[in-house]
Amino acid sequence: MSAHVRVRRPASPPPGIAYAGQQRFPHPRQDHDADEKRAAASKGFGPGRTKHFPSGGLNLTQGEIKLLFLIVLVACGVRLFRLSKPNSVVFDEVHFGKFASKYIKTQYFVDVHPPLAKLLITLAGFIFGYNGHFDFKDIGKIYEHVPYVAMRMVPAMLGVATVPLAYLTLRALDCRATTALLASLFITFENGLVTQSRHILLDSPLIFFTALTVFLWVGFCNEDKHEPFTTNWWTWLALSGLSLGAVVSCKWVGLFTIATVGVSTLWQLWNLLGDLRITPSLFIRHFTARAICLIVIPIVFYMFMFQIHFLILENSGDGDGFMSSEFQHTLGGRGMADTFADVALGSQVSIRHVNTQGGYLHSHPHAYPGGSHQQQITLYPHRDMNNDWRIMNATLDGYPEFDYENESLHYIHPHMRIKLLHIATSKHLHSHDIRPPVSDVDFQNEVSGYGAPGFVGDANDDWIVELAEGDTRDIESFKRLRTLRTKFRLRHMLTGCYLFSHKVKLPEWGYEQQEVTCNKNAVKENSLWYIETSEHPQLPPDAPKVNYKLPGFFSKFFELQKVMWNTNAGLTDRHAFDSRPDSWPRLRRGINFWVKDHKQIYLMGNPMIWWSSTLAVGLYALVRGLLILRQKRGFRDFDNTKVVKYDALCGFLFIGWSLHYFPFFLMARQLFLHHYFPALYFAILLYCAVFDLVTSTLRPRVRLQVAGVLVILAIWNFQHFAPLVYGTEWTRPKCENARWLKSWDFSCVDFYNDYSEYASPSIIPTKDFGVGTSPALAVPGNGNEGPVAGGRGGPGALQVDPKVAQANVQQNGNSNHGKHQGQAAAPVDNANDQPPVNVDEDVNTTIDPGRPEPGRDVFAKVEDEVKSDTLAVRPPEKEGKDKEISSVNVPVTATIVGEGKGDGTEVSAVTEKKGGKEEKNDDQATVARGLNGGTGTGSGTTTQKKVETKPEDGDGAEAQPPAGDVKPQTEKQPEEGQQGQGLEIPMGPHDEAGEAREKAAEELFGDDSDE
């Protein structure tokens, strides 16, 4: 047919005769109603309504389903590749792996995060036979009898599932398939998301449930636009509520996801309220349905997770001390027999503090290193015989002869003057005008144990009882002191200060127990005490008894939430790799997860994806602001359906990003890069939505080509930094070239210079080096090149860069920053002059000052509590006394590796000439630890300790009053030569193991006493 011939349409049929071809007017007339068109346009949709509406507005073709399956396979390959490597503990697996062990052993613990993600990880370990006996103690510790691959599989598979959710979410938001494909591939090859999902961590479950919530909510919004209150409408809404409960049950960051859905819900209700076609009763139905599904269901789900948590953790554990006494007595092994309700003079009692998780007033036969050097008084969270005190009368004449066993009962009434006698050590609870060891302020006085058997004491031992609160169930508790029912204060008679405790820990010499002081300006809540147990020889067996009222689920639930909240807010300590929110969108720094065997895992994002998504967020905010200004000037941009559609789409994602990002600026707690990951998910979706808008006028093929270029750039960035994701071999030059920003602090010095060095052995083993038989270390420039054998589990030969090592020593002192590292033992001078072992001089691995360390576990200190009946550690010397002097030098040449629990325990023996006489100096405590297999804290940093031992003065002995006449209010300390004369000084338990270690040290290094 000629191009100039115009084809005419068929003639219209005569009236009354049906049209033989296609229907001339395919849509009913009512579909062209102006109001409906306007309403549909305001929502970004056309006015037509198809006969079949796909569930959630998700209409996928068969080709898309096949494509989605292929994307999932790629995501599996990326996240599951080398999942078993490394075969040692990585970053916060230290904490979350340990929590899985506690679940399996049903031992109670406390964590700042809700339990769902931890329960999923525990379930995987339990199914694959984990018995809970691995301690997950240190980063780099080799897994033994732990199905760690199965446990890592949980976050890995949830990370894989996040990829199709991104695709489906954008398709439900009416984006093109190319755009959805781009988003799913960005999620697949985002380095940070991949790294975080490959280990036993909680962020991958959190991001998965965040993505699931967004997808389900978008599906519900589509159903709501189509037709409300259908079966599909209720299904999508209820599933959205369950997903909200799941996301907040992983981490409290899920509250930001709840806020995102909440803002969207309020916007929907606001529009319904302004629609005059919606009757009040119909609006109430909409409001009630959303309230039930988006508020009640998430709360019930969240509480149900804690019910499972309580049911599993039924036995006493490390977290007991953080809970109230009532809570503790619901745990197995913490039950208490009924105790006498009455408290009288002569009663043997245990006293608990009210406000700081109920620790016991405690003392033990160890003195303060400073101040009065008298016996320590602390707050201790566990039951112990050193918590027992006897209430004595300080007002009656002839107090020492007061026979409480035969005299009539004298109950404790308000304003009674008493003494508290520590039964185990015969010391009185004592205070005086001396500053406490930690809270050294004028309004705080030291509280100590003072006295001896047969010593009457002085007025500084006297306390006034002040009743503060009673129990309405026991009227007598308001009139006199009653066990468990009366809260009271103890006022010091002479100084007027109150017995006080707060959340301040004593140093190691006080076993990190809680400080007890006498405070003149005491906060009432921190100066309240109560009697937990009471015994008296004159009380008959049928005397009234009391016990704790065990709390129910709701009481336990709300108490645990309070503990989690307060502890979370208190995480203000700095971490080596923490960061602030302003640096996250710019990807200024990451987190060092793991360094071992010249390999490293470092959490950082894909720069191309990260910076592009940040740019898209800023671009949307800029354009949206411009549209608002244009609207003020009378432009009708929002009458354009395309503008309305993409504004609603991008606006929802922008709100999600903002609510997951900006609240962190209000937090003073410790923050890390991974806290940005939920916001990053929204930023990536917003980036792809902007791509969908920008390319909306392009041909499909051109759009696909542009997306292909972006995907290729993302994959190139991913593979460029892949060695930091998988912990594979890398070279130092490549690492240095990959450091595009100076703030990226991954440790290039940990890598070899060439890949060939990974294939060749790092060390030529000669024999199993024991104590004192370690070879020398190669330190360039000191004329002593040679390798050193790593300790058990160490990486092998190391060559120390003197500049790096010196920086490390200056930064970290004694190099205890790498205690989680699992590096080789730190070398010291060769004590036995062993010849160096020859090794390839090209091996050149240095030690970088930055070491990986897990996030702080604020609840771990209870686990490290030392029972008061253990051997006392000699306290530090007083100022003015001769002390042990230690110095740290970098050039060192020997390592003594102790066998046992520690990896690379260091023991040094240094000899030096003084005046022509060879004098041997050793730190026998360190030697004993090495001989006994003590745990080392070596990070691979080169250190040397040189100790000069000085004669010790006996200032650590406790001052004892004479047995004869004693004047009140005196605390005279006898001279050194007189200490212990005429009095039996309480001593600590006999330390046979310590004597054996000292004897072994003397055999190894000789006795210093004759030199």
As a whole number, mean pLDDT of residues 701-709 equals: 95
Q: Is 845 left (phi over 0), alpha (psi -120 to 50) or beta?
A: beta
pLDDT at 623 over 70: yes
Highest averaged pLDDT of the listed ranges 31-40, 529-538, 880-889: 529-538
* Secondary structure (3-state) at 105: coil
> Which of the residue ranges 344-358, 644-658, 796-810 would you say has the lowest mean pLDDT?
796-810
pLDDT at 326: 86
Q: What is the pLDDT of residue 857?
A: 53
Lowest-pLDDT range of 442-451, 470-479, 591-600, 983-992: 983-992
What 3-state DSSP class applies to 966?
coil
CA distance 848 to 855: 20
Closest CA to 926 of 823, 814, 851: 814
**CA-CA distance, 520 to 523, in Å (whole number)?**
9
Mean pLDDT of 113-136: 94
Count CB-CB contacts under 10 A for residue 855. Answer: 18
Q: Residue 1000's pLDDT is what?
A: 53
pLDDT of 7 reads: 56
**How does residue 314 score in pLDDT terms, banded at 50, 70 and 90?**
very high
Which pLDDT value is given to residue 8?
60
CA distance 53 to 62: 17
Pairs from 1001-1007 (Cβ < 8 Å, separation ≥ 24): 1001/922, 1001/924, 1001/927, 1001/928, 1001/931, 1004/771, 1004/772, 1004/909, 1004/927, 1004/931, 1005/909, 1005/920, 1005/922, 1005/924, 1005/927, 1006/920
Burial of 215 (0-12, 13-18, 19+ CB in 10 A): buried
Residue 912 has pLDDT above 80, yes or no: no
972 close to 921: Cβ distance less than 8 angstroms: no
The pair of three-digit structure tokens given for residue 585, joined into one six-digit string: 């969108």
Cis peptide bond upstream of 86, omega within 30: yes
- State CA 74 to chain mean position distance: 32
Which of left, alpha, beta for 358 (phi over 0: left; psi -120 to 50: alpha)?
left
CA dist 131 and 100 (Å) reads 10
Per residue, the 3-state secondary structure of 253-270, as one string, reads CHHHHHHHHHHHHHHHHH
Between 512 and 814, name the one with better pLDDT: 512
Q: Pick the range with the lowest mean pLDDT from 319-333, 739-753, 959-973.
A: 959-973
Give the pLDDT score at 455.
78
485: confidence class by pLDDT, cuts 50, 70, 90: very high
| Nearest by Cα to 150 from 179, 129, 170 | 129
For residue 800, CA distances in Å to 750, 754, 760, 766, 843 come to 11, 17, 19, 21, 10
Q: What is the maximum span of the chain, computed from C-alpha positions, in angstroms?
A: 135
Rounded to the nearest 10 degrees, what angle do helices 677-694 and 148-172 cross at? 30
Which pair of structure tokens corresponds to residue 747?
């440790």
**What's the pLDDT band for 767 if we cut at 50, 70, 90?**
very low
Please tell me whether residue 379 adopts helix, strand or coil conformation. strand
Q: What is the pLDDT of residue 991?
A: 47
Rounded Cα gap, residues 669 and 196, in angstroms: 21
Q: What share of residues in the chain are helix, strand, coil (percent, to 5)? A: 40, 15, 45
CA dist., res. 435 & res. 226, Å (int): 73
The tens digit of pLDDT for each residue in 565-611 reads 988 887 777 778 888 999 999 999 999 999 998 999 999 999 999 99
What is the model's pLDDT at position 716?
A: 96
pLDDT for position 30? 47
CB atoms within 10 A of CB 644: 17
How many Å apart are CA 828 and CA 932, to the nearest integer?
Answer: 19
Residue 49, pLDDT above cutoff 80: no
**Residue 374 in this model has a pLDDT that exceeds 70:** yes
CB atoms within 10 A of CB 337: 7
Lowest mean pLDDT among 133-137, 143-147, 953-957: 953-957
Task: Look at residue 337 and give its three-state secondary structure.
Answer: coil
DSSP labels, 734-783: HHHHH--STT----GGGSBSSTHHHHS-S----S---TT-----BBTTTT
Q: What's the token pair of residue 380?
A: 């201790």
Cα angle value 595/598/600 (rounded, 5°): 35
Checking if the pLDDT of 975 tops 50, the result is no
Residue among 763, 812, 766 nearest 597 (CA): 763
Amino acid identity of 227? E
Name which of 441, 559, 573 is nearest 502 in CA terms: 441
Dihedrals φ, ψ of 405, to 5°? -80, -25
pLDDT at 402: 61
Q: What is the pLDDT of residues 821-859, one digit of tens each?
A: 333 333 334 334 444 444 343 433 333 445 556 655 545
Q: What is the mean pLDDT of the segment spanning 612-621?
A: 95
Amino acid at 700: P
For residue 245, is pLDDT > 90? yes
Q: Can you point out the beta strands (E) in 858-987?
A: 885-888, 897-898, 905-906, 909-914, 917-922, 945-948
Tokens of 504: 């301040």
Rg of the chain over all Cα atoms, to the nearest angstrom: 36
Q: What is the pTM of this model?
A: 0.71
Q: What token pair was written down for 824?
A: 């080789």
The token pair that represents 679 in the structure block: 């916001």
Which residues 6+ apart lie within 8 Å of 373 measured at CB? 367, 878, 955, 956, 957, 958, 959, 973
866 sits in the region (left: phi over 0; alpha: psi -120 to 50; else beta) called beta
CB 804 within 8 A of CB 750: no
Q: What is the mean pLDDT of the chain?
A: 77
Rounded to 5 degrees, what are φ and ψ at 388?
A: -90, 130
Q: What is the pLDDT of residue 902?
A: 40
CA 547 vs. chain centroid, Å, equals 35
Q: What is the DSSP string of 390-446?
A: EEEESSSTTGGG--TTTSPP-B--TT-EEEEEETTTTEEEEEESS--SSS--TTEEE
Please give the Cα distance from 186 to 570 (Å, whole number). Answer: 36
Give me the percent of the chain exceeding a pLDDT of 90. 50
In the three-class reduction of DSSP (H, G, I as helix; E, B as strand; rest coil), residue 909 is classed as strand
974 vs 647, more confident: 647
| Best mean pLDDT range from 499-513, 956-970, 984-998 | 499-513
What is the pLDDT, as a whole number, of residue 404? 75
Which residue's entry shows tokens 């016990």? 547
622, with CB counted inside 10 A (0-12, 13-18, 19+), is exposed
How many residues are there in the chain?
1011
Tell me: pLDDT of 200 over 90.
yes
Tell me how crowded residue 202 is: count the other CB atoms within 10 A of its CB. 25
